[in-house]
Amino acid sequence: MLRYFLSRLLRAVLTIVAVVTFAFVVLRLSGDPALLIMSVDAPPEAVEAFRAAWGLDRPVWEQYLRYFVQVAQGNLGQSMRDGRPALTVVMERVPETLALTLPAFAMKLLIGIPAGIYAALNRNRLADRLTMVISVAGFTVPSFVLALILVLIFAVNLGWLPSGGAESWRHAILPVITLGLSGAAILARFTRSAMLEVLGQPYIRAASAKGLPWRRVVTDHALPNAAIPTVTIIGFMVGSLVAGAVVVESVFSWPGVGRLLVVAVSNRDLAIVQTILLLVAMTMVCANLIVDMLYGWIDPRLRTARAAGG
């Protein structure tokens, strides 16, 4: 078991190094932060002074080495836009994003999983088809389109909710619904597929044949077995809690990590982008580890196999 977790940890570290390197190369080779941050109207002398101050006049490989050593020492650098520590700037925004993504995550689970189960248990009936039509619509309509439709209905025409901003809980309603609906649609489809596959298995027929009430067949036999693919998707969703609302935050002018990422990428504010990517990578890695542990808990066969392997 220990060897298993150590190998996962090593893979996680390599993933993070790859992410940091890739982001550095792409960002630095596709634009000069000095020109982007200082604006094209700034005097050339000011742009040069900025480059010198931030070491952007040095070779790219040297900049990378410096950055890497710095990160290895636990220093994520400073924002080139305003000189503040990148971690401080990013962490200021994390609660704002979580204020959207956590309720949206709960909404995805509370709507998506029951809807998927309900559709599977009513396969090919009107309820199933209706659920799937709504699910496909939620899955395929881009989130910025859904967001604008919701704003037009509930803010512009009905005047019930604000169209954007982050002043109160009312401002969070439309972005949460936008995020929640599309995620719920995905979960509903996956849950339905998983349930349908499980419901067709011989052990379900055997449980029914034993005379178990259908409700218990579903809760005790079908649901645990259908949980593995669903948990995998939920794992991805947990991983995107920190920066999974880029588009929605832009449309609703929500000052979260997603908007910060957009601004930082367009300004090539490397330290900020890298800090966000590190945060996302670490969240993903943690989510994957948790999912792996859940697999073992849900499926005893995996637990036994891992124990046998070490």
Partner 1 sequence: MRLTRRAALTATAAISLPRFAIAQGDQRPSITVAVQKISNSNTFETPREQSNVGYRVYSNYAETLIESAWRDQLKPVPGLATAWRRIDDRTVEFDLREGVRFHDGTVMTAEDVAFSFGPRLFGAETLGPRQPPSEVIATGRRTFPAIEGMEIVRPGVVRFVNKTPDVTLEGRIQQNIGIVVSRRAFEAAPNWLAWGRAPIGTGPYRIAGFRPDVELVLEAHDEYWGGRPPARRIRFLEVPEVASRMNGLLSGEFDFACDIPPDQIATIERNRRYEVLGSPINNIRILAFDKTHPVLADARVRRAMTHAIDRTAIVEALWSGRTRVPKGLQLEFYGPMFVEGWDNPRFDPDEARRLLREVGYRGDPIPYRLLNNYYTNQVSNAQIMVEMWKAVGLNVEIQMVENWNQIQDRATPRGIRDWSNTSLFNDPVSGLVRGMGPRGELQLQGEWTNEAFNIEVTVLETSLDRARRRAAFRRMLEIIEREDPGYLVLHQAATFTAKRRDIRWSASHGWAMDFRADNLAFGA
192 near partner 1, rule: CB under 8 A: no
- Contact in structure between 287 and 238 (CB atoms under 8 Å): yes
Taking the CA atoms of residue 236, residue 275, residue 247 and residue 42 in that order, the dihedral angle to the nearest 10 degrees is -160
Distance CA 222, CA 215 (A): 10
Which three-class secondary structure state does DSSP give residue 241? coil
Selected from 1, 18, 133, 156, the binder of partner 1 by CB under 8 A is 156
Query: Mask of contacts with partner 1, 74-103, x by CB under 8 A?
Result: -------xxxx----x--------------
Judged by beta carbon, residue 234 or residue 261, the one nearer partner 1 is: 261
260 near partner 1, rule: CB under 8 A: yes
To the nearest whole angstrom, how small is the minimum distance from the Cβ of residue 41 to partner 1?
6
Distance CA 253, CA 133 (A): 30
59 near partner 1, rule: CB under 8 A: no
- Contact in structure between 280 and 235 (CB atoms under 8 Å): no
Number of chain positions touching partner 1 (CB under 8 A): 49
- Contact in structure between 238 and 251 (CB atoms under 8 Å): no
211 near partner 1, rule: CB under 8 A: no
Judged by beta carbon, residue 40 or residue 308, the one nearer partner 1 is: 40
Judged by beta carbon, residue 6 or residue 145, the one nearer partner 1 is: 145
Helices (H) and strands (E) in the chain, counts: 16, 0
Question: What is the b/e burial string over 127-160, where b = at least 16 CB atoms within 10 angstroms of the residue's CB?
Answer: ebeebbebbeebbebebeebbeebbeebbeeeee
To the nearest whole angstrom, how small is the minimum distance from the Cβ of residue 55 to partner 1?
12
To the nearest whole angstrom, how small is the minimum distance from the Cβ of residue 119 to partner 1?
34
Residue list 12-41, contact with partner 1 (CB under 8 A): 30-32, 35-41
Please name the residues in contact with 138: beta carbons below 8 A apart, sequence gap of 6 or more: 146, 181, 182, 184, 185, 186
Judged by beta carbon, residue 228 or residue 263, the one nearer partner 1 is: 263
216 near partner 1, rule: CB under 8 A: no
Name the residues that contact partner 1, by CB under 8 A.
Answer: 30-32, 35-50, 52-53, 81-84, 89, 148, 151-152, 155-156, 159, 162-166, 250-253, 255, 259-260, 262-263, 266-268
